[in-house]
Amino acid sequence: MSKVLFASISKKFVMALAGLFLLTFLPVHLIINLMLLKSDPASFNEAAHFMATFPPVKIFEVVLIASILIHVTYGIYLQISNWLVRPVGYVSGNKSETSFFSRFMIWTGATVLTFLVLHFFNFYFVKLGLVDGDPEDFYSMAHNLFKIPAYNYIYLSCFILLGFHLFHAFSSAFQTLGLNHRIWTPVVKKVALFYAILIPAGFGLISVTLWLFR
């Protein structure tokens, strides 16, 4: 049984499941963040309060944090293992035709993880009481952050890279789960493209609007 749990396919399976769960969370987060565009802070703060206190969401939160940890840990472990399998590289490089964004998953993932740490310090750790701030007024905290140009540059850059990561991750997860189909796989790839543009564009819209037009 231990062989099954530690098989390369099993690790990819767990990583894909965790990744797919994270994919379901992003639209939820985006919908809540879109309330930042309203001039009245009440609805955003109420939504943030609901997400922080409603018991079923608390379970969702535990699964979410576990998914992030599993996805990141397995991602780093598998990448290092893969690098070690080719101790001597090719002088003439690798010119094989591949899915472009798949080559940089570890780097786009590392960028998103770095942003996530910053994001946790700005909001999640405030909610947990580990960092100073008002957990009942995330609206003002977010608006204040988006007034800082450097924060917007970092935010927008990270979301563009998140889009690159999502584009490959979405269809790759289906392939890893064994779901490759003559008709449905091209559809999944189109949905992946739509998703990978929509999510960063939505978050980017909030950043640009609050930075330049408020």
Partner 1 sequence: MKLTLKIWRQKNAQVKGNFETYRMDNVSPEMAFLEMLDSLNKRLVEEDKDPVAFDHDCREGICGSCGMYINGHPHGPVPAITTCHLSMRFFKDGETVWIEPWRAKPFPVIKDLIVDRSAFDKIQIAGGYISVNTGSAPEANNILVPKNVSDEAFNSAICIGCGACVAACKNASAMLFVSARISQFALLPQGRIEAKARVRAMVDKMDEVGFGSCSNTGACEAECPKQIKLTNIARMNREFYKAF
Q: Footprint of partner 1 on this chain (CB under 8 A)?
A: 3-4, 6-13, 78, 81-82, 84-99, 102-103, 105, 168, 171-172, 175-180, 182
Our CB check for partner 1 shows the closer of 11 and 71 to be 11
Nearer to partner 1 by Cβ, of 3 and 129: the residue is 3
Please, which residue, 40 or 95, has the CB nearer to partner 1?
95
The residue among 146 and 174 lying less far from partner 1, judged by its C-beta, is 174
Among residues 211, 203, 207, 209, the alpha carbon closest in space to that of 28 is found at: 203
Shortest distance in whole angstroms from residue 18 CB to partner 1? 15
User: Within 10 Å of residue 150's Cβ, how many Cβ atoms?
Assistant: 7
All residues at 6 or more sequence positions from 41 whose CB lies less than 8 Å from its CB, including other chains: 137, 139, 140
> Is the distance from CB of 109 to CB of 68 less than 8 angstroms?
no
d(CA 117, CA 36): 21
Q: Give min distance, CB of 82 to partner 1, in A.
A: 4
For residue 57, give the H/E element and its range. helix 55-85
State which residue, 17 or 156, has the beta carbon closest to partner 1: 17
Dist. CA 65–CA 25, nearest whole Å: 11
Triad 4, 172, 62: Cα angle to 5°: 65
Smallest separation, CB 157 to partner 1 (Å): 23
Whole-angstrom Cα distance, residue 198 to residue 183?
23
